[in-house]
Structure 1
Amino acid sequence: MYGSMTRKMTLAILTLFCITLSLLITANGCRNGDDKETQITQKKWGYIDKKGNVVIEPRFDEAWPFSEGRALVKIDGRYGYIDEEGNIVIEAQYEYESVGYDEARYDDPRHFKEGLAVFINGNKCGFIDKNGDVVIQATYDDASGFSEGLAAVRLNEKYGYVDRNGSMIIEPKYNYASSFSDGLARVWREIDGENEEIEVGYIDHTGEMVIRTESDESGEFHEGLAAVSSDHLWGYIDTDGNWVIEPRYRYETHLDVLKVNLSEGLALVNLFNDELGYNDRGYIDRSGNIVIEPREYNGESLYGNAYAFSEGYAMVVVGSRCGFIDRHGDLILEPIADGADSFSDGLAAVLMNEKWGFINGTGEFCIEPQFHDVHSFVEGLAPVQMTIQEE
């Protein structure tokens, strides 16, 4: 009995010692872990390939998709560019927040287009090449990216166009100027401020106004057609200014208008048809034929908050959930996602349970949701934000 009690006491003492040691180790481990989390665990941006492999390690504060072999990245508050190997080819030296270029109107001009990108010096815009060499000095108040050999620039509150050498091809005289597409740019200018008289329409590369419109409510040309308003109804004109689809559609907001541009031969429009019994949205082709009729999903409009087609698919939003349809209007992904971006490079970014992943054209995840934030795939790579913990 004595021996048995001794073994029990010894066992109890050993057990108490082990528990105490374990608690000490655990306590120290948690404390050290918390310090490590606070000190060196952070979110950084890197790049993955289409298999989900990290090909450029996450080390950037922000990162954007590649364009012409260069990607804009942010390091310690400044912006520079990397190549597709992740090498810094243009040092992080720019402070783009110092100028308020119109992101809603232009594609981000910091991305390379036709070999040039906008840079900022002080509060002025200029252009650099892919080596970071200044090609056009920073003398403009605002600038678009190059398109069809010309870029819109603003001087003294008026817009004109420069060529790749920095020569002013179309003098600054417009209150508004879009990028060129299909050989034309949308512009308007005030002729008589006292009587609120304006000139609005489309100019060619020489600056000649070749199409005049009734109001400044119009879109840019896409695939040979532009959405234009006449007496508060919208239709589509060709590059000669002829009506291809007569004005018969209504849009409530400017955002609606931005979403109706022809894309991959289809355009989202408001459809009002008493005979068919609907007052909803659907898609038409470039001849005005309805190819995707309005449809409901769980009692709500499936296309009421839809987007333009990209690579054969269009994003739809029902309530606050996102999904995708194909060119027949059929769902490839039910509206179950918390967020999404349009298809690019064959994949679409989708947000599920606060994590981003990528789906393919069948609506299946080929890269599981795991990232804090992402941008679309371009040139085979996608920027992703993830948590890193350095040793």
Structure 2
Amino acid sequence: MKKRICLSISLLLILSSISVSAETGAETYDSVGPSYDGVRKVIMYLGTPDYKYGYIDEEGKVLAECRYKEASDFTNGIGTLQEGNTIFAINTKGEKIKTFDSSFTSVSYFDGEKGIATKDGLMYLMDQDGKLASRGYQKLLYDPFSSFRGIGAMSNDKYGVIDWHGNILTAFEYATFWNTASNTSGVVAAEKQLYGIGGYIGIDGKVLVPPVYDFIGGFSGDRGRLGKAGKYGIIDGAGNPITGLIYDNVEDYSEGLAEVLKDGKWGYIDRSGNLVIPCQYTATQGFTNGYATAYTADNKELTIESPIKQSRKINVYVNNKWLYLDQEPVLDNNRTLAPLRGIAEALDYNVDWDASTNTATLQNNSRIIQLKVGEDKAVVNIFDDGRAPEEIFLDVPARNLNSRVMVPVRFIAESIGADVTWEQETQRINIKASL
């Protein structure tokens, strides 16, 4: 394959913290993390390897002084702190609610009902009382923010998947689990040997694609690559084939299009597997801001405009660069609605989705925005500005379209301090923002 995949023994994507130098009140922190349950983890760097951890709320009020050996992100309103050999849990008011067994060397993901503890070099599932509830494993890999619902576990140097009751969902027969940074499907790549025979584990923790393929390329968005005996294809997040194993090479999707090789020539397919640019080039590159570079047989360099960009009735530009959105903007009562995640991430915001409450949360190091599908208002809270959260009303309610949360473009941009203009003649939305 043309592009190498960076492998990781980690089962799931680790959400990147928002790392900044910030001053809140009398304290200056080297890092202020993202907000979970209205609480941010803060870090002071005192020289390698000495870090101190604590918690503050959205207004910068100290909930736990920055003096602890370790601190977890909050989960379900609970965080854990370690001081010396003592590990305890606190709530969002900073009140201590539980002290764990002194033999534990770490506690993670404790949410009041379950968690993971480390003892004597092994990792265990933990119950609501903070007691061990499983046998020990070499590793337990879990991400409470992922759609993947299993727990990766290592035993006898092999990986499998278990649930919170310790039941085995996938047999312990894999050498590695890994993911790619662009994966939004929750599906995990699993290989029986590094760079060897592999398949995919579904979001329910069970085998989605059996480990019979000699190439597993991981997922980009909700599309995954696989290959066998020199032929390659694409599947979706449910394991359904988007293409058969009909190509001599396939690359990750970029802006909704993937490069494919057939009979020595490169072309592009769309997310449905349709060949939208014929296989006619000796070399190609992925699309960026609506354009890609391709080379002809006589080594002539060409610039190709994305057929997706050409077909869109409404296009969005951020700082004069075309923005690919996986759902085309639509008009609703003369208001343009666009996918919340696509525009927010282009403006350097993290986006979390809570399916149980239909709530989307956008945040960066200075601002949090929350809104619910079906409602015409959102709550904006600017970090440590001394003001209460502010309600902002949308021209039309947020709604779901093809599993995408659609909101007015002007609301997304203006709620985070960007300028928005509309060009009627070209049907173009311009967003200007400081990134």
> Where is the helix percentage greater, Structure 1 or Structure 2?
1
Q: TM-score range by the shorter chain?
A: 0.3 to 0.5
- Bigger-Rg structure (1/2): 1
TM-score normalized by the length of structure 2: 0.43
TM-score normalized by the length of structure 1: 0.47
